[in-house]
Amino acid sequence: MMEKWVILAIIICAGFLAYYVKALSKSGAVAAIIVGAAVMLGFSVKGLFLLGAFFVSSSLWSEYKSSVKKRIEEKLAKGATRDWQQVAANGGAAAFFSIMNFFQPDVSWLVAFSVSLASANSDTWASEVGSLSKKNPLYIRTFKPVEKGTSGAISILGTIASIAGALLIAVFSFLLFHLHIFLAFVIFLFGFFGNVIDTLFGAFYQQLYKCGQCGIETERRFHCQKETKRIKGYNYIDNDMVNFLSGFIAALFAMVVNFFWIKFN
C-alpha cells in the first residue's frame, strides 16, 4: 500500500515538473496526473513506463528544432505546451482501458492500452518529425503539395517517423509485459493504423478555418485577434477529437484481432 502512495507522489511530481519545463499547462499537468493514476491502477509501474515512453519521446520531438516549427504552429490550434484536452486526446483512451483492466483484468485491455499509446506516439512523431521535411507534404484528398502542418497531409519522412513511433511502443510493450510476439506485432500494426485513421479524419472531417485578416488557413478559431471562418469540417471534430478517436478506434480493432487469435489458438 505504501508503495502505491510513493508511486502516486512520483506521478504528481512528474506532472509539476512537466508544467515547470512548459511541456504541460496547469490543466494539462492535472490531467496528466489523473491519467497517470489511472494507468497505475490498471497496469502498475510497467504501464507507467509505457506511458512515460510516449510522453518523454513525444515531448523531446516537440522541442527538437522548435524554432523551425514556429511558422507551422500558426496553422495548428495549439502549441507545444499541452493542455488538458490534448492530454485527454492522447492519454484518455489509455486511461479508460487501464480502468477497465483494474476491474476486469484481461490481456485484451493490455493490447488496447498499448495500441492507444502506440497510435498517439505514431501520430506525434509523424507530425513533429515530418514537419522538418525539406519538401512540402502531399494532401491525401488531392495528392498535391500543401503547407507543412496541414492535417490530412503525408510525407515520406513523416511516414517513417510514424512507423518508428508505433514500433517503439510495441517493443516496450513486448519487453515490459512479456507479450507473445504476435501481440507485439498487432500493437505495432494498429498503432500505425491509428495514425492512418488520424490522417483520414484530418483530411475529410476535421475543422479548418481561414483568417480574414492575413488569409492563413489554420485550425484556430481566432487569429490576428479576430474570429476565423470555418471552411471545412464538422462541429466538435477538432484535432483533439481526431486524436482521441483514431487511437480509440485502432485499439478496438486490435481487441477484435486479439479475440479471434485467442479463439483459434
For the residues 7-17, what does the mean pLDDT come to? 84
* Domain layout of the chain by residue ranges: 2-263
Could you tell me the pTM of the whole model?
A: 0.91
Average pLDDT, the chain: 88
Instruction: Note the helical H segments in the chain.
Output: 2-20, 26-63, 70-73, 84-103, 107-130, 156-177, 181-204, 239-263
pLDDT digits (tens, 9 = 90+) for 149-184: 788 889 999 999 999 999 999 999 999 999 999 999
Sheet holding 208-210, edge to edge: 217-218, 208-210, 229-232
- For residues 187 and 122, give the distance between their C-alpha atoms in angstroms, rounded to a whole number: 11
Q: Residue 114 carries which side chain, given as an amino acid letter? A: S
Say what the pLDDT of residue 250 is: 98
Other beta carbons less than 10 A from residue 152's beta carbon = 23
Best CA proximity match to 251, nearest among 179, 186, 174, 157: 186
- For residues 164 and 245, give the distance between their C-alpha atoms in angstroms, rounded to a whole number: 21
